[in-house]
Amino acid sequence: MAQFSRRNLLGILIAGTAFPIMAACGSRQAEAKAFPLKLSDAEWKKRLTGEQYRILRQAGTERAHTSPLDKEKRAGTYLCAGCAHPLFSSRTKFESGTGWPSFYAPLKGGLGLSTDYKLGYPRTEVHCANCGGHLGHVFDDGPKPTGKRYCMNGVALQFRPG
């Protein structure tokens, strides 16, 4: 059995206490905010597929390279799959090589941001400004002019050509 110093044990206890608290408090701050579209859990389950519900309402992540929207090249608008709120223009889409649809800028009023601690460190979660649905995360490794990479779950989006 391993020997622990008081300092090591204290560090383990603090980390063990802090991580679940950070995860519980930070991972779905979007749900605590008021959004224009409010539906019950039962209504969301009726409206969405199982995978859309897991991503949009439970902050899941789809497997990389599984969404046809990652390879979508037509002009158009990307909408929230939960409520059809406009999120991104195809003009800001770029090939990130990550396996998820990526954009360097959202449409004005399309998104909300919150802090997610699910992996034990802070990340910026992206959600729909209308319904609060989880879309993905934003990172600071995108192209000019913004330097942002909005890495979105394709199942959380729908595409409207035009």
Tell me the sheet residues that pair with 149.
139
Cα 33 to Cα 10, 17, 38, 71: the distances in Å are 35, 25, 11, 33
Measured CA to CA, the distance from residue 82 to residue 70 in angstroms comes to: 18
**Rounded to 10 degrees, what is the CA torsion of 13, 121, 110, 158?**
-100
Per the annotation, the verdict on 83 as an active-site residue is: no
Integer Cα distance of 28 and 65 in angstroms: 25
Question: Catalytic pick from 80, 83, 131, 151?
Answer: 151
Rounded CA separation 130/132 (Å): 6
* CB-CB contact of 138 with 150 (8 Å): yes
Quote the CA–CA distance of 72 and 54 in Å, as a whole number: 23
Q: Which residues are catalytic?
A: 151
